[in-house]
Structure 1
Amino acid sequence: MLLPGWLRRANWLWPTLATLIITAVQLDHAPLWRDELATWSAASRPVDDLLRLVGNIDAVNGAYYLLMHAWIAVFGDSVLALRLPSALAMAGAAALTTLLGARLFGPRVGLLGGLLLAVLPSTSRYGQEARPYALVTLLAVLATLLLVRALHRPTWPRWLGYAATLAALGLANLFAVSLLAGHAIAVLLDRQGHRRGGVPVRWVVAVGAAGLVLVPLAVLGRGQQGRQLDWVGRPGLAALVGLPGSVVQAAVVGGLLFGLAALGAASRGRWGAALGLSVLLPAALLFVAGQFTPLFVPRYLVFVVPFGCLLAAGTLAPLRLGAALAIVLTVGVLGTPEQAALRRTHESPRTAPVDYPAAVRIIAAHRQPGDGIVYAPRDGWAFLDLATAYYLPAARPRDVLLAEDQVRRADLWATECAQPERCLASVDRLWLLAWGEHADPLAGVPASRADPLRARFRIDRRWSVPGLTVALLTPPPTRR
């Protein structure tokens, strides 16, 4: 049966559906990982507490947290609910990628580019994560599509829409504004705009308007960077060479996509050059900036992946459609191992999962009224207390070392009591949740905490789950 005409013309629909279907597979299967726990902690607070938080840390994600706060108020905070906005955003990004490709290079390039985006492991990875990267990807493609429209017919309403999208892009991820490097090339290469006059000026005005919104955030975020990115090291040449695989989440797929995209950039005229530089210049900026400040986080570049897909599609488009689709399918098959792995865990490497739910289930199964719990470590990025609060929201053991919680501190971390001996005196059974798998659960606990624990308790039982150790501590027999 022939398809209706509108359905044949709506080639954006197929990449959208493909992205939704692929991303929806086991959307809530992998446990929330550390960054997602931070999202839940921030977004589930009252708005005034959330605003106090972003004044201290994570200001660059403040807009996303506010968006997720509203979402949670309507749809709840289950794993599925927390990740669904990202899945929808990635589907939207696939639709807009198809439209952008059709506008620049023709319907076939748009369709193939959207389908390539749908099958990449990175699309599932960030489409299944309660973090802003999928939203950033959507906004980056939208901003580029709006730029194309404004260059074609440079009316002020179109430039206003472009400026607003740029501002939203920066609010979602400040580094994504580096996309402007590629946009600047597109404006410079726009011969019609130069002949009409005023286009470069209007582009500068639009960028300046967005900058007025983003400069205060940039200043606040710069002051928080050292604390927020203290775990990021200086990248070497190997990190640069491996960047395509790191961004796409699979080395072979990243290398293949990069090769196809390079050929497409060289053969697709000024917009091929502009999209190519929209990929290369942000990557170069991230690498160079990473030599001077902690910034080199490959996932910050996820927003350039749709442009790489369109350039790769430009290489495939001259082939017969069946052959081109077979190559797209091959790309998807090559990424299958990583697709399966990321649905088990979002940790990196995938061979080192952290199973918060399994640890919490052990505590829930064996806890007794009056039990206490301590966490090791309490600082850093393990977020053991947040995981326990999320997966065991009711009747969890009392946090005996807690002096000031995250909400009161307007932070992602709590403060523990200065005199642990006194705080521990109120419990006879104590749970210890420790990062890593240890034969001796107290081995990694700081001496200021381990010494009073050893003095008052003995290890009664110990369990290991992937990435974590759970121990039940009770007083020695002579003290019962």
Structure 2
Amino acid sequence: MATAAVPRTNRRFELRAPDALLAAAALIVLTAISIYVRTRSISGSFWMDEGLSVGIASHDLMDIPGVLREDGSPPLYYMGLNLWMDAFGRTETAVHWFSLIFSLLTIPAAMWAGWSLWGKRAGYIGAAICALNPFLTSYGEEARMYSLMALLALLATACFLHAFAYRRGRVYVVLFAVLQTLMLYTHGWGIFYGLAAFLALIFLWWRSEERRTLAIEGLAAFTAAAILFLPWLPTLLFQAAHTAAPWGRAPRFGAPIQISRDLMGGDRASIVMLLVGGFGAAAALAANKGRNDGERLSIWVLLLIPITTLVIAWTISQITPAWVSRYFAVALAPMLLLTALGLARARVLGLVALAALAVFWANPRPFVDGYKSSVRDIGAEAGSQMRPGDLVITGQPEQTPLAWYYLPAGLRYADSAGIVDDPRHMDWVDAMDKYEAAQPRDVLPPLLDSLRPGQKVLFMRPLTEGVENWSAPWTQLARRRSAQFGAILQADARPGGTLRQIDVAPQFYRGASTVGNVGILYEKVRDQPATQVP
């Protein structure tokens, strides 16, 4: 039991004029550096997940929640992207800037969080860390919701500490409830974060001598977030039952290495953060030993939230895969705040560590690649030869929206289960069963029969040279179906068949950083049954 109650104060983030000017100058410089680092590949090609984002967001605004019933995600990011594209267009650069803005906003958010919680040194260090962190660099140039999720988690964590560790007033209770709700509407891991934050609240309640007030305010915040999320709950339950992630695999015990490399930019940076940040945090705990002050509680909360979030996700992923490093955005935010606090308390050693991190992170090349997929090249080379009514067949079904984005308007689309009515999104409802049941010898011949002589069919086949990346149930099926479709098409392009191969794209494959593809373009030359393989 604590020896003293946490002082309840309404102190706000207040700046004297000199501090305000210095803070503004620091933010301008850090933001400028961050923009430079994070726009090296701002016009780079989309890959399939980004194609899904743009395709879903291309629907009418109020239709997006219904479309996502078949996808598995909440609607906030996609509805925001819809409005953004209406205002700024849907080029790669325009769409990437939507994510970049959230990544850049973490810089002032971290300065406010660190300064208002632990002093200006922590604020400056937090801002500098967020200006260069590789995860925020990578997803600041990707058309997905992860930079938004990191920003929301950072603000939510700071408000949680203000509200329940430092007890600074109910305004932070309300802000935390709102931010937690926004996280729930942005990504499914918002639920894992919420569970972890609730366990952190229980820890604070156990340590507090104001248990009744803390319990009322804490339960009010989480209840409000739950009530605000209720309209989406029926969709979430349907998604959970029918749109799992068959492309994922259950994680094993190498998760700490994955976190080190994908969140912190490699082992060198992780060691610096762990050793120096850990030293500073341990020093702060030792200095406040026997006290129940906000800083000491902050350290425990900032350990508890990310660890619990990851443990919950890891455990659930043993049953239904939900473990991908890009989902770690919710855990990244409290980890960066803890690092800022630890480096601030390590004093000179912390500044040396910050300089080392800047050196490790300043070069974005290891974290960002502007050539994520070859589909843009396929669209430029093969798409220019296609006309409305021609057919596109994607060997990996979730790449159909990406093909739709890069290929000319008016084409028809199909995948290994048949015709795709809306190529702007992927229907994941019971997808594994549906695509397992669809046999190539039954699906492909009717598609080819629908073509008139002179019309073309583009088969977009994923390159699966990295076989270790194609070992999950879904990717194994996509690889097998692509090979089967390719064999049938090649057999039908032999002398006497109905097809003639006229092109292969891209002519010069540069090695995509995510999923590569080859596009094989055929022209129908005569009407007769397609050659089938047994």
Post-superposition CA distance 1:288-322 (Å, at most 9, x none)? 2222221112222222223222322333325565x
Partner of residue 333 from structure 1, selected from 339, 343, 359 = 359
Which of 438, 443, 460 is 2:502 aligned to? 460
Q: What amino acid is the match of 1:21?
A: I
Displacement of 1:4 after TM fit?
A: 5.2
Q: Does 1:53 align with 2:93?
A: no
User: Structure 1's 61 and 23: CA in aligned 2 closer, same or farther, altered over 3 A?
Assistant: farther
**Which residue does the alignment assign to 1:372?**
390
- Does residue 445 (structure 1) correspond to residue 445 (structure 2)? The answer is no
Identical pairs, percent: 20
Structure 1: which 5+ runs fail to align? 347-352
| Residue matched to 1:270 | 297
Residues 333 and 47 (structure 1), Cα distance of their counterparts in 2 relative to 1, 3 Å cut: same
What is the CA distance between 1:124 and its match in structure 2?
0.5
Partner of 1:350: none
Alignment CA distance shift 1:397-1:97 (3 Å): same
Is the CA contact 2:35–2:104 (under 8 Å) kept in the aligned structure 1?
Answer: no
Q: TM-score, normalised by structure 2?
A: 0.75
What is the CA–CA distance in structure 1 between the aligned matches of 2:154 and 2:424, rounded to whole Å? Answer: 39
The 10-residue stretch of structure 1 (151-160 or 277-286) with the greater mean CA deviation from structure 2: 151-160
1:143 paired residue number: 156
2:45 counterpart residue number? 31
Superposition pairs of residues 127-276 of structure 1, within 5 angstroms: 127-151=140-164, 152=166, 155-180=169-194, 181-182=196-197, 184-185=199-200, 188-189=203-204, 194-195=209-210, 197-215=212-230, 217-218=232-233, 220-225=235-240, 227-268=243-284, 269-276=296-303
In structure 1, how many angstroms separate the alpha carbons of the residues matched to 2:105 and 2:424? 37
Tell me, yes or no, if the aligned pair for 1:19 and 1:90 is still in contact at 8 Å.
Answer: no
Deviation string 1:426-477 (CA, Å, 9 cap, x unpaired) is 4444433322289xx9855266666556531233333442422222324679
Instruction: Return the alpha-carbon distance in structure 1 between the equivalents of residues 346 and 370 of structure 2.
Output: 37
Q: Provide the rounded CA distance (Å) in 2 between the counterparts of 1:463 and 1:238.
A: 38
Paired with 1:343 and 1:286, the residues of 2 have a C-alpha distance of 26
Contact 1:278–1:307 (CA under 8 A) maintained in structure 2: yes
Residues 5 and 131 (structure 1), Cα distance of their counterparts in 2 relative to 1, 3 Å cut = same
Secondary structure of 1:317's counterpart equals helix
Where in structure 2 are there 5+ consecutive unaligned residues?
1-16, 285-295, 466-480, 529-534
CA gap of 1:205–1:48, structure 2 versus 1, over 3 A, is: closer
Q: What is the Cα deviation at residue 99 of structure 1? A: 1.5
Alignment coverage as a number of residue pairs: 461
Report the 3-state secondary structure (helix = DSSP H, G, I; strand = E; otherwise coil) of the residue aligned with 2:520.
Answer: strand
The one-letter code sitting in structure 1 at the alignment partner of 2:368 is R
Asked whether 1:424 is paired with 2:443, we answer no
Aligned partner letter, 1:359: I
Paired with 1:342 and 1:391, the residues of 2 have a C-alpha distance of 24
Q: Compute the displacement of 1:418 (Å).
A: 7.3
Contact 2:151–2:333 (Cα < 8 Å) also in 1:
no
Query: In 1, are the aligned partners of 2:401 and 2:424 still within 8 Å (CA)?
Result: no
Distance 2:99 2:373 in 1: 22
Q: Distance in 2 between matches of 1:100 and 1:156?
A: 17
The answer to whether structure 1 residue 471 and structure 2 residue 485 are counterparts is: no
Aligned residue number for residue 354 of structure 1: 373
Assess if the C-alpha contact under 8 Å between 1:431 and 1:471 holds in 2: yes
Deviations 1:219-276 (A, max 9, x none): 5334324634111111111234432223335343334334444434433322111111
Partners of 2:275 and 2:263 lie apart in 1 by 15
Q: Does 1:103 align with 2:145?
A: no
CA distance in 2, matches of 1:253, 1:429: 51
Query: Structure 1 residues 273, 370: closer, same or farther in 2, change over 3 A?
Result: closer
Q: 1:105 & 1:222 partners in 2: Cα distance? A: 40
Q: 1:11, 1:98 within 8 Å by CA — same for their partners in 2?
A: no
Judged with a 3 Å threshold, the aligned counterparts in structure 2 of structure 1 residues 191 and 22 are, in CA distance, closer, same or farther, namely farther
Map 1:265-344; keep pairs closer than 5 Å: 265-268=281-284, 269-318=296-345, 324-335=350-361, 339-344=364-369
Cα distance between partner residues in 1 of 2:90 and 2:239: 27
Alignment counterpart, residue 88 of structure 1, candidates 94, 97, 101: 101
Q: Which amino acid aligns with 2:157?
A: T
Matched, 1:392 2:397: no
3-state secondary structure, aligned to 2:521: strand
Q: What per-residue deviation string (whole Å, max 9, x for no partner) do you get for residues 141-175 of structure 1?
A: 21222233334456544422321221111111231
Query: Does structure 2 retain, via aligned residues, the 8 Å contact 1:234–1:290?
Result: yes
Instruction: Work out whether residues 52 and 426 of structure 2, in 8 Å CA contact, stay in contact via their aligned partners in 1.
Output: no
CA, structure 1 residues 410+122, in 2 after alignment: closer, same or farther (shift >3 Å)?
A: closer
Give RMSD over aligned pairs: 3.7
Matching of residues 8-47 of structure 1 within 5 Å? 8-10=22-24, 13=27, 17=31, 20-22=34-36, 24-47=38-61
Higher helix share: 1
| Shift of residue 377, structure 1, vs aligned partner | 0.6
Shift in alpha-carbon separation, 1:355–1:264, aligned structure 2, 3 A: farther
Instruction: Work out the CA distance in 2 between the residues paired with 1:221 and 1:6.
Output: 44
Question: Which residue among 9, 21, 36 is the counterpart of 1:7?
Answer: 21
Shift of 1:38: 0.6
Give the one of 381, 395, 405 matched to 2:421: 405
Give how far 1:31 is off.
1.1
